Structure 1
């Protein structure tokens, strides 16, 4: 369950704060306009505020200003154009088709542009309902602009005042996801759980974690932190160091489960990892409350039991020795994880600015770079572009929805049908399918709730209170549980009718029927000009392999001390994790598509997991070298690392570039350095898994080729 859906954490999340901010702004501006003017003026102002609020997302201040300004200007132009053309039927439908198509083309700019696309469609539908004279259209456009500009000014002031609080909440969300990710690892030590299935869950969670971590980077690392934000920066970096430690534990599950299936060892390891997850969650919980955190967890009994088990192990040979080495390595990593969590707690309690800041001055490689060039949009005006086909699909579906709604026997609100289509139709079939279910079920429940409210409550003040709650909920759950947003949006719209139109409860049945019609039309058009996920998979698979090659090269430079800092290593690690997250998300969406459109799902799962394990090996190798800093035989270690990286590069090289890997040379045993045996074992496992990545890549290619 998403952390913000739990009552214990919801009221302290940025989702609730955003919902509260949006509801206060929209209703506040509406009441202000109504107090100064009349109801039609207040409605026009409310429309501008509502459409602009769709762009009110957690972002750095400069980005938020640009995004909201784009929303105000674009939506005001759309409102004016649609209103001006509303008296001429053919012109109105021409404008609707063009706006639907051009606004949907904006998704080429990524997820940040999707709220702007919906805002443009939303204002288009609302403005097309009633014919307007040119003067009325100009007045409507001006009032819409005032509402949007007023909301923008309000939101910027509030977010500026609460900027540190927002950064805390976004950082806490990343910590909550790290706790979920860590807790999933506890299941890897449970013999009752399928290891391949648990690894697949880990990879899926890693995709979510990567997204939350990027949101944290974008807010916390952009610009110079104030003295009051130094703690957030230090917790942020401690979180990423902890993440690498947790990641490094992914390399030895198979050996441990094979040799220690019975006995107390695996349950002990699972308990320690589970406690570590709760400990990380405690940091996140304290962060959302703006309090220093302290560990609520005591690891001592499990650590003593683990030490006893390790002392009782007899030195084995062959596979037994390898399993014991894996156990000792895992025990060391878990101790380091626990120590790093203690550092995380300490970072949250440090005086402002007391901890040393990270040495990097240029954070650009770690931050999301959003580019809005007209060239990108023009380059996608071609039949083969998935965005172009999506834009055509939306324009056709909305046009059909508006036309068909006028032929219905009941008094139809055409924009309800079109709005349902706009909400449901998304660039991918998987997202469309999920939205379809959420929209239909949410509308049904919302209509039932509103019917009860209107039957029982007759006080306008109480109805306004319910509408405020619905507005908060609609914005708060938009990106975490759209079904709740659909419920809230239905309650909000129908309560508004109940407040402004006598006997407005009759709108409940009409909204249900219009939603059914919109759902049917959206379902039909989801199969028109589709873009199936398997068509993009070869490109995404190659991107993962390319990112892993660069990561291996950066790791070689760092471990062989060819570079003075680890910034390139961190950047390349981010890139390989992002590419794995992108491929994993595409695989998840493909599995929601019709069975005939699924390709190589088992092979892709194997490929993702193998690449993920390879990254974990590098993290474990880096930590191993840090764990044994004394008496390091530099020349021998460098030779071993160079040979390993050369063989890994040979395994990961593109087929056309494959060169014979260097022959593995016999290495001299160095007993004086305690890290030599674990180093040799780690290098051997890393090379074996690199070879498995190559085999998995070939299997994916064969399976996609057969498909």
Structure 2
């Protein structure tokens, strides 16, 4: 399910809409200026619009306004400063290095600040291409600001008018990723798929899903949802209920494979879950087209076949295996019903919104802080951000000097821009950007050379320029290689339109890119921040978040919590910390082999933490299923004992003895849910033991802090 790249879905995604909006704004402002002025003026305005467009990403309206305003102000100041210094070469290079360092320090504010960092560097490099007199610098700065402010006003109006559409697109993307997550779940019932590899895939997809769900929260739940948002809010909540149900379907796959291999029941379960995944995808597909969804599949035939297969398995395996199989079939049935509720939610009219009255949703939303104190606290040698900023500043300095010694008319700003694009805070990100940048530039140069050779009509070239301008931001976060191709074509086509006689531009840009790539590659090893250095801290963060999650889950399962608000907050914090660790592990594996530390143990630790969440979700649904006649005191005692043992495993070295399952139910109590509860608690404790073992192995591999 390649949602973001498949034409069937990409053309209705917020990625495509963003690219189209940006291209329309930049090209429109450029030609509007050209209609009333000359080419240099239009180019200066276009530069302002282009740099500001880097901040035009999906965000809540207030956040988008603040982000774009910061981009307009910062980039305009940088352009004016660089233009004023451009007549004095040594002063210009000093300013470029200082601005590069300060802009690169913005990484301390997280991912949301990365576009602003690049916008500042991009505007600086463009402004440094030619020397300007003070009057020209002031004029150029004013035109740049006009283009930047004009694009900001245009973008805010368009996004305000299409805010509901953006919410639909972001929510549908989360549903697509949930469908992919469910599809991986279906693979657990295929004996051809090794379980450890399938669990790893599940955890990786969980990280992507969590990011998309957070984007959905930030857009749909921020502020007070209006009655017009009723369907979106209901689908959003239904999506999370469905996610928890899919999460709870984790079961003893080893036991099922051992006892029912070769029978029809496991392929049937996998087929049903796979069909459910396609049904979720159909709901996402309908939402991208601004229409309510309806059940796309009929499960009755598969349900009858499953019931028949369950009857054939009766008495052929151990009682525990048959009970696990029956419980799994119940959960799959519940999942199918929940998908029906998801479809129904998309058809909701102006109904009461499913938000807890008076609930503060702030903990669920992304909080961004840009205090100067954060920047100042990282101005120290031990800070990875400080070392990264030094690394970029030194690399750009070398790139500027290298342009003076090359045997052709090099563009130092293009070399420096290539370095700024490639060098990232982590080695793995730098490595990926390097490959994408080189390959993308080569392809972009070749395509542009072909276009400029055969196409000479300005209208046709403008059409190609519009497509490249739209494609560059559209693929920025899903396939950077395509962005590199489009960005190269965009610059070269612009040169071809404004300075047609410069025929060597394609070759020169390609050579500049290669020089910048070599320099960036060398400096990726200077003052490095290897991922293994941060892993012990991230492991401890996961354990702390897990303890909080177990505490809140214990209160919820035992009925001590009035609602699940604290449980959901702690679960979100736990999953966020787990995603951070898993992402760091993935980046470490892209680094040189000599910098790898305990990859197998860390991967096992990540998977075992994920399994604990699955067990808690299953326990919650189990208590809801068997709520009739539930003996609260006995069940609470069992849950409390199990959670206490799990907490002990999270806070200690590997256990000498395995955790024990809580005592059996007294003979005087007759409750149908006791045996399923015992099995689930047993699995919870087994995985807690495995988690403690993995943690101990990590401690041994990394040694004392």
With normalisation by structure 1, the TM-score equals 0.97
1:424 alignment partner in structure 2: 422
**Distance change >3 Å, CA 19–CA 619, structure 1 → 2:** same
Single out whichever of 166-175 and 557-566 deviates more from structure 2: 557-566
User: Could you give the per-residue CA deviations for residues 81-132 of structure 1, whole angstroms, max 9, x where no partner exists?
Assistant: 1111111121111101110000000010000000100011111111111111
2:233 alignment partner in structure 1: 233
2:390 alignment partner in structure 1: 392
> Does the CA contact (< 8 Å) of 1:646 and 1:662 recur in 2?
no
**Distance change >3 Å, CA 659–CA 252, structure 1 → 2:** closer
User: Could you give the per-residue CA deviations for residues 648-679 of structure 1, whole angstroms, max 9, x where no partner exists?
Assistant: 22222245999998995454246632111111
When the two structures are aligned, how many residues end up with a matched partner? 705
SS of the equivalent of 2:613 reads helix
SS of the equivalent of 2:249 reads helix
Q: How does 1:424-573 map to 2 (within 5 A)?
A: 424-573=422-571
1:366 alignment partner in structure 2: 364
Offset of 1:502 from its aligned partner? 2.4
SS of the equivalent of 1:674 reads coil
> Does the CA contact (< 8 Å) of 2:434 and 2:517 recur in 1?
yes
1:11 alignment partner in structure 2: 11
Q: Distance in 2 between matches of 1:656 and 1:295?
A: 48
User: Could you give the per-residue CA deviations for residues 220-271 of structure 1, whole angstroms, max 9, x where no partner exists?
Assistant: 0001112211110110010011111111112322221222121111111110
**Distance change >3 Å, CA 289–CA 583, structure 1 → 2:** same
SS of the equivalent of 1:504 reads coil
Single out whichever of 254-263 and 350-359 deviates more from structure 2: 350-359
1:157 alignment partner in structure 2: 157
> Does the CA contact (< 8 Å) of 2:233 and 2:354 recur in 1?
no
Structure 1: unaligned runs, 5 residues or longer: none
2:66 alignment partner in structure 1: 66
> Does the CA contact (< 8 Å) of 2:654 and 2:693 recur in 1?
no
**Distance change >3 Å, CA 488–CA 91, structure 1 → 2:** same
1:254 alignment partner in structure 2: 254
Offset of 1:301 from its aligned partner? 1.8
SS of the equivalent of 1:5 reads coil
Offset of 1:315 from its aligned partner? 4.6
Offset of 1:298 from its aligned partner? 1.8
Among candidates 685, 691, 694, match of residue 693 of structure 1: 691
**Distance change >3 Å, CA 127–CA 224, structure 1 → 2:** same
Q: How does 1:126-137 map to 2 (within 5 A)?
A: 126-137=126-137
Q: How does 1:558-707 map to 2 (within 5 A)?
A: 558-654=556-652, 664-669=662-667, 672-705=670-703
Structure 2: unaligned runs, 5 residues or longer: none
SS of the equivalent of 1:250 reads coil
SS of the equivalent of 1:703 reads helix
> Does the CA contact (< 8 Å) of 2:9 and 2:285 recur in 1?
yes
Q: How does 1:219-298 map to 2 (within 5 A)?
A: 219-298=219-298
2:125 alignment partner in structure 1: 125
> Does the CA contact (< 8 Å) of 1:48 and 1:147 recur in 2?
yes
> Does the CA contact (< 8 Å) of 1:252 and 1:330 recur in 2?
no
2:103 alignment partner in structure 1: 103
> Does the CA contact (< 8 Å) of 1:454 and 1:505 recur in 2?
no
1:51 alignment partner in structure 2: 51
Q: Distance in 2 between matches of 1:167 and 1:505?
A: 45
Q: Distance in 2 between matches of 1:88 and 1:574?
A: 53
Q: Distance in 2 between matches of 1:513 and 1:669?
A: 82
User: Could you give the per-residue CA deviations for residues 15-62 of structure 1, whole angstroms, max 9, x where no partner exists?
Assistant: 000001000111111111112221111111111110100000100000
Offset of 1:334 from its aligned partner? 0.7
With normalisation by structure 2, the TM-score equals 0.97
SS of the equivalent of 2:442 reads helix
Q: Distance in 2 between matches of 1:663 and 1:254?
A: 19
Q: Distance in 2 between matches of 1:655 and 1:578?
A: 24
Offset of 1:342 from its aligned partner? 0.5
2:197 alignment partner in structure 1: 197
SS of the equivalent of 2:351 reads coil
1:302 alignment partner in structure 2: 302
> Does the CA contact (< 8 Å) of 2:107 and 2:113 recur in 1?
yes
**Distance change >3 Å, CA 333–CA 662, structure 1 → 2:** closer
Offset of 1:309 from its aligned partner? 2.2
> Does the CA contact (< 8 Å) of 1:230 and 1:353 recur in 2?
yes
SS of the equivalent of 2:298 reads coil
Q: Distance in 2 between matches of 1:314 and 1:64?
A: 59
Q: Distance in 2 between matches of 1:659 and 1:251?
A: 24
Q: Distance in 2 between matches of 1:443 and 1:323?
A: 57
> Does the CA contact (< 8 Å) of 1:650 and 1:661 recur in 2?
no
Offset of 1:581 from its aligned partner? 0.8
Q: Distance in 1 between matches of 2:656 and 2:44?
A: 65
> Does the CA contact (< 8 Å) of 1:272 and 1:302 recur in 2?
yes
> Does the CA contact (< 8 Å) of 1:494 and 1:505 recur in 2?
no
1:322 alignment partner in structure 2: 320
SS of the equivalent of 2:188 reads helix
Q: Distance in 2 between matches of 1:217 and 1:125?
A: 36
Q: Distance in 2 between matches of 1:660 and 1:250?
A: 21
Q: Distance in 1 between matches of 2:477 and 2:492?
A: 22
SS of the equivalent of 1:479 reads coil
SS of the equivalent of 2:461 reads helix
Q: Distance in 2 between matches of 1:396 and 1:548?
A: 41
> Does the CA contact (< 8 Å) of 1:181 and 1:209 recur in 2?
yes
User: Could you give the per-residue CA deviations for residues 491-542 of structure 1, whole angstroms, max 9, x where no partner exists?
Assistant: 1111111111123332111011011101101100101111011111001111
> Does the CA contact (< 8 Å) of 2:174 and 2:209 recur in 1?
yes
Question: RMSD of the alignment, in Å?
Answer: 1.9
Among candidates 306, 328, 331, match of residue 329 of structure 2: 331
Q: Distance in 1 between matches of 2:304 and 2:353?
A: 32
**Distance change >3 Å, CA 422–CA 77, structure 1 → 2:** same
> Does the CA contact (< 8 Å) of 2:638 and 2:662 recur in 1?
no
SS of the equivalent of 2:504 reads helix
